C-alpha cells in the first residue's frame, strides 16, 4: 500500500530491494489513506481489508497529508484507515527498534556521548486505549475514553518480556499510575505477568513524564520500553530523533508474536512528507529497514533481512547522507547506494 505523499516513491525503493535480494514474491497493490478517500470516499475499503487478511505480510509506505485534514467529525480521515486495519488484523503490538548508527551519531541533536551504545525497542500497545475508546462531542464539550482490559495489558506485556529475553533482559514499563486508573491497572497487570512467567527479566516502572526526560538524558540505559497506545505514540517519535532523523526508523505491527496466519503490518515511522513529495528528496532508509522487518517477522527470511540491514549500515558508513541527514543524496541515489552493498 503506497499511500500518500512520498509513499509511492519509497514503496518503489522497497520493491527494488526485494528484487535485488532475489526474494520470490507476489505483490498486490491497493489504495490506502488519502488516496483511497479520493477514489472511494473511505481510507480503508473492505476489499483492501480482505486482501490484507489473505496476505503473508502487509507493507505500507506513508499515510495522510494536509489536504485531508479536517475538524469535521463525520469527514473521512486517512488515519482512520490505519486504526481500522490494526483492528481488523488484530495488530495489537507495535515494535519500534531505535538503534542510532555510529556513522550518524553526529547527526543526532543529542551529543555523541549521550547516544553512544543506544539500542532500544519500544513495544507499544496498538488497539486499545484512548485512540479506540468512545468519543463524544457537542457544541460545548468533547471527551475521549481511555479504556483497557486486563487481557489487553497481559498480552502486550508478554510480547515485551519475550522480546527482552532475546536482548538484554530488561523491561521498562511506562505508565501514569500516580494519576490514571488505567495506568494503575496497567502496572498491576504487568507485575502479575512478570511474577508468573518472566522473573528472569528485570522490570522497572517509570512514569511517562519521567520516561520522556530519561529518553534524552540516558537513552543507552533502556532495553525494552513497553507502554500503552497514546504514550507509545509520543515516546517512540521522541526516540526516533536519537537517530538524527525520523526518516531512519522502521516499525512492525504484529498480532501475538507475529505467528503463522497472522499477517503483520510493516511501515516506516515517518509521515507522508507532502512538502517534498515528487521532488526526489525523500529518505528511503526507514522504508528499506521496514522491509527488512517484514522479511524477518513477516516472511521468516532471516538471512535476507540481515543482508538488507547490513547494506543500509554499510552505505551510511561509506558516507551516504540524504537531505534530512545533512547531505544531498536523492531518493534514487540513496536507493542505489544501499543496493550496491547487497
Distance CA 134, CA 9 (A): 36
**Residues 309, 197: one domain?**
no
Overall domain count for the chain: 2
Work out the pLDDT band at 261, boundaries 50, 70, 90. Answer: low
Residues 270 and 159 in one domain: no
Report pLDDT for 323: 94
Cα(92)–Cα(265) distance, rounded to whole angstroms?
11
* Per-residue pLDDT band at 257 (split at 50, 70, 90): very low
Q: What is the CATH number of the domain that holds 336?
A: 3.40.718.10
The pLDDT of residue 71:
84
31-76 residue pLDDT tens: 999 999 999 999 999 999 999 999 999 999 999 999 999 888 889 9
Catalytic-labelled residue, pool 56, 144, 221, 233 = 233
Tell me, yes or no, whether 13 and 58 share the same domain. yes
Residues 53 and 4 in one domain: yes
Per-residue cell: 115: 547516544
Q: Same domain, yes or no, for 127 and 156?
A: yes
The grid coordinates listed for 77 are: 480521515
Active-site hit among 106, 209, 317, 340: 209
Asked if residue 248 belongs to a domain, the reply is: no
Tell whether 182 and 119 lie within a shared domain: yes
Same domain, 145 and 86: no
State whether 235 and 304 are in the same domain.
Answer: no
138-196 per-position pLDDT tens digit: 999 999 999 999 999 999 999 999 999 999 999 999 999 999 999 999 999 999 999 99
From the candidates 148, 176, 223, 324, give the one annotated as an active-site residue. Answer: 176
Query: Domain residues for 309?
Result: 1-91+264-342
237 with 321, same domain: the answer is: no
Summarised one tens digit per residue, pLDDT across range 74-110 is: 899 999 999 899 989 999 999 999 999 888 898 888 9
Check if 131 is active-site.
Answer: yes
Tell me which of 131, 175, 223, 324 is the catalytic residue: 131
Residues 10-32 have pLDDT tens digits of 999 999 999 999 999 999 999 99
Catalytic residue at 209? yes
Does the annotation count 176 as an active-site position? yes
What's the rounded mean pLDDT across residues 257-277? 82
Told to judge if 87 belongs to the known catalytic residues of this protein, a careful annotator would answer no
Average pLDDT, the chain: 94
Amino acid at each position: 500500500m503506497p499511500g500518500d505523499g512520498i509513499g509511492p516513491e519509497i514503496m518503489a525503493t522497497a520493491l527494488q530491494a526485494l528484487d535485488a535480494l532475489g526474494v520470490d514474491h507476489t505483490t498486490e497493490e491497493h489504495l490506502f489513506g488519502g488516496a483511497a478517500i479520493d477514489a472511494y470516499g473511505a481510507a480503508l475499503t473492505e476489499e483492501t481489508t480482505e486482501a490484507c487478511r489473505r496476505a503473508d505480510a502487509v507493507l505500507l509506505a506513508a499515510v495522510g497529508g494536509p489536504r485531508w485534514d479536517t475538524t469535521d467529525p463525520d469527514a473521512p480521515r486517512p488515519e482512520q484507515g490505519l486504526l481500522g486495519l490494526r483492528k481488523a488484523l488484530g495488530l495489537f503490538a507495535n515494535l519500534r527498534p531505535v538503534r542510532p548508527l555510529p556513522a550518524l551519531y553526529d547527526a543526532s541533536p543529542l551529543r555523541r556521548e549521550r547516544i553512544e551504545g543506544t539500542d532500544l525497542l519500544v513495544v507499544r500497545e496498538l488497539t486499545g486505549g484512548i485512540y479506540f475508546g468512545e468519543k463524544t462531542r457537542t457544541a460545548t464539550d468533547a471527551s475521549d475514553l481511555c479504556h483497557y482490559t486486563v487481557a489487553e495489558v497481559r498480552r502486550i506485556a508478554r510480547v515485551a518480556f519475550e522480546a527482552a529475553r532475546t536482548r538484554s533482559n530488561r523491561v521498562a514499563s511506562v505508565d501514569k499510575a500516580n494519576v490514571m486508573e488505567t495506568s494503575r491497572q496497567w502496572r498491576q497487570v504487568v507485575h502479575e505477568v512478570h511474577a508468573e512467567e518472566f522473573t528472569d527479566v528485570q522490570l522497572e516502572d517509570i512514569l511517562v513524564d519521567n520516561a520522556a526526560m530519561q529518553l534524552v538524558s540516558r537513552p543507552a540505559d533502556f532495553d525494552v520500553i513497553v507502554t500503552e497506545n497514546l504514550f507509545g505514540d509520543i515516546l517512540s517519535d521522541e526516540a526516533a530523533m536519537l537517530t538524527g532523523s525520523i526518516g531512519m526508523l522502521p516499525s512492525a505491527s504484529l498480532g501475538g508474536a507475529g505467528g503463522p496466519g497472522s499477517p503483520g503490518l510493516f511501515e516506516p515511522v515517518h509521515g507522508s512528507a507532502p512538502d517534498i513529495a515528487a521532488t526526489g528528496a525523500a529518505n528511503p532508509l526507514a522504508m528499506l529497514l521496514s522491509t527488512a522487518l517484514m522479511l524477518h517477522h513477516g516472511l521468516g527470511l532471516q538471512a535476507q533481512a540481515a543482508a538488507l540491514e547490513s547494506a543500509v549500515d554499510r552505505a551510511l558508513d561509506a558516507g551516504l547522507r540524504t537531505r534530512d541527514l545533512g547531505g544531498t543524496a536523492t531518493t534514487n541515489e540513496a536507493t542505489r547506494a544501499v543496493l550496491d552493498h547487497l
